[in-house]
Amino acid sequence: MKLVVRVKLLPTPQQASALEATLLICNEAANWLSTAAFARRVASRAGLQTLAYAQLRALGLSAQPALHVLRKVADAYTALGAQPRAGKLGPSKSTSRASAAWKPIRFRAEAAQPFDDRCLSWQMDAGTVSIWTISGRLKGVAFTGHPEHIQLLTRYRRGESDLIRRNGQWYLAATCDVPETDENGRPDGFIGVDLGIVNIATTSTGRRYSGRRLNRRRESDRRLRSKLQQKGSKSAKRRAKKHAGREARRTRDINHKISKQIVAEAQRTGRGIALEDLGGIRERVRLRKPQRATLHSWAFHQLGRFIAYKAKRVGVPIVQVDPAHTSQECSRCHHTDKRNRPSQAVFTCRSCGFVEHADLNSSHNIASRGWQVWGRGAKSVAPALVPAT
């Protein structure tokens, strides 16, 4: 399984300016090449190489970076689905695609640039990388990341990494080829996971991960941010951005912790994991207006992704279930009624009298729906595996 792991670089000011100049020149070169490719109606990698390799080298790019620029441009035209050839625009009637095909593709000055092992080497023990730049090789550029990500990198990193600049910070996004365990084809039931606001996650096995502390921190962060935004000064904006980054890191750490524990429990007890369909989570989030400020649907999607890739790694089957009415259905008699849920925390069945914590009741429903989904196909129906960050 391929995972993309992102680490943050901590360059000295001098190193940072070398990185900046490098990214800038790579993207300038890509833009120049894109224009040339468009003018000559050439977009294949081989064609571009004949056309422009020597000129790219003359711009100061060494062999590998020049080839990466060639590939970046060729891939961008391929991704567009239309070769930049006048009069032949392919089957699509999409206007954006048509107009894009009529003008050269442009790259942002800070668009990501791939580096392979010849241009980038990792010293995991020292926590540094050595990277090619336009002003020579930079050695000892420090990086930092989540301990779990560092572990993945150390053991499974393969091939290229992208140099990325975002909000003034430098990152490397590295691809890891992580081995998977054969899936447990005969799970002993499913753990249902209910995702929510008051409780970030509640499992049908009775574990509850409270969101109280996180929500409180978010609320105070939000107040500080809006204060800073009102100020409107440059330094206030910078501080606001910094705070947003801190909040994202905190959420990620918590999501790593929760997903790890849920997957470990499923593995230990030979069960699979049932999650609500993540699209449904977004729907539900939209409904709860007063709490919108304390909650971001990306946080749920992230938790779902973390659970999915960790489960896949250890062979725990994972299914997604229809989220409709999981909170209104009685997990004992399956009577479904809005009035079964008189408050946020309480579930009381109007039909059989069953009383349960509302999130726990939902998680039981999710677990039994998971078992049904598994029964139909006996295979994982997991969310797409996407970056681990």
Contact (CB, 8 A) for 370 and 192? yes
Q: Which long-range contacts (CB under 8 A, 24 or more apart) does 239-242 make?
A: 241/167
Could you tell me the smallest distance in angstroms from the CB atom of residue 333 to Zn ion?
Answer: 3
Residues constituting the chain: 389
Could you tell me the smallest distance in angstroms from the CB atom of residue 148 to Zn ion?
Answer: 41
Kindly state whether residue 63 participates in binding Zn ion, applying the rule CB under 5 A. no
Could you tell me the smallest distance in angstroms from the CB atom of residue 253 to Zn ion?
Answer: 38
Could you tell me the smallest distance in angstroms from the CB atom of residue 328 to Zn ion?
Answer: 11
Q: Which is nearer to Zn ion, 54 or 352 (CB)?
A: 352
Q: Which is nearer to Zn ion, 228 or 349 (CB)?
A: 349
Q: Which is nearer to Zn ion, 205 or 328 (CB)?
A: 328
Helices (H) and strands (E) in the chain, counts: 10, 14
Of 330, 182, 203, the residue nearest 263 (C-alpha): 203
- Token code pair at residue 274: 């049932």
Binding to Zn ion (CB under 5 A) within 294-323 occurs at: none
Could you tell me the smallest distance in angstroms from the CB atom of residue 332 to Zn ion?
Answer: 5
Of 27, 8, 25, the residue nearest 168 (C-alpha): 8
Query: For residues 116 and 159, what is the distance between their CA atoms, to the nearest angstrom?
Result: 6
Binding-residue pattern over the window 263 to 292 for Zn ion, x denoting contact by CB under 5 A: ------------------------------
Query: For residues 382 and 236, what is the distance between their CA atoms, to the nearest angstrom?
Result: 42
Could you tell me the smallest distance in angstroms from the CB atom of residue 205 to Zn ion?
Answer: 21
Q: Which is nearer to Zn ion, 32 or 354 (CB)?
A: 354
Binding to Zn ion (CB under 5 A) within 161-220 occurs at: none
Binding-residue pattern over the window 319 to 358 for Zn ion, x denoting contact by CB under 5 A: -----------x-xx-x-------------x-xx-x----
Q: Which is nearer to Zn ion, 115 or 347 (CB)?
A: 347
DSSP 197-229: SSEEEEETTS-EEE-HHHHHHHHHHHHHHHHHH
Residue type for position 58: A
Q: Which is nearer to Zn ion, 113 or 331 (CB)?
A: 331
Could you tell me the smallest distance in angstroms from the CB atom of residue 78 to Zn ion?
Answer: 56
Count residues near Zn ion (CB under 5 A). Answer: 8
Of 178, 140, 143, 142, the residue nearest 157 (C-alpha): 178
Query: For residues 41 and 34, what is the distance between their CA atoms, to the nearest angstrom?
Result: 10
Contacts with Zn ion by CB under 5 A lie at 330, 332-333, 335, 349, 351-352, 354
